[in-house]
Structure 1
Amino acid sequence: MDHHEDGARKRALEPADLFLSSAGPGGTWTQLVRLGSGASSPGSGENCQMLSPDGRHLFFTRDGDIYWVDAVVIEKTRSTGQGRRPIPRND
């Protein structure tokens, strides 16, 4: 990784961000891909990601609020790098 890539990665990870990596053949992992605008906003402080038990929803926190998106965002990120906007759930 060169100096420019290292700097870009540090900026993307501050304060926190959501990334996707998938298990590949032979126990390797794919490169990190930011989870898309629906669930990840640089510098917004996303944390505590968790899939629902049925695998249909991705929950995460952002700046102290709880959000969820349809887990389809994971497949969309894999194929296009884009996701859907999160829906705040603070009922």
Structure 2
Amino acid sequence: MAGEDIVAVARLNATEFFGSLRQMNSEINSNTREWKAQFSALSRSGDWVGAYKAKVEGLNKVYQTQQEKMLSAHLRLKRMSPNSKI
């Protein structure tokens, strides 16, 4: 019985992890499409400063999303195995 419980918990944790990973990828793709569309529209209108500002802000948003999700995953992993050296 105990072995089956461990397998069930591992499957739940893997499902949660991959769900979070899919969510992060979805957010990143959405943010990337957004800043690329803004960059394209602004550059077509000749506003190169605005275009590159939109690009930098978009890339910063993507980076922050990645950092937040990785920190969240790290904290969950640490809670699951508090005695590890993670």
| Structure label with greater radius of gyration | 2
**Structure holding more strand per residue:** 1
- With normalisation by structure 1, the TM-score equals 0.23
**Normalization by structure 2: what TM-score?**
0.24
More helix by share: 2
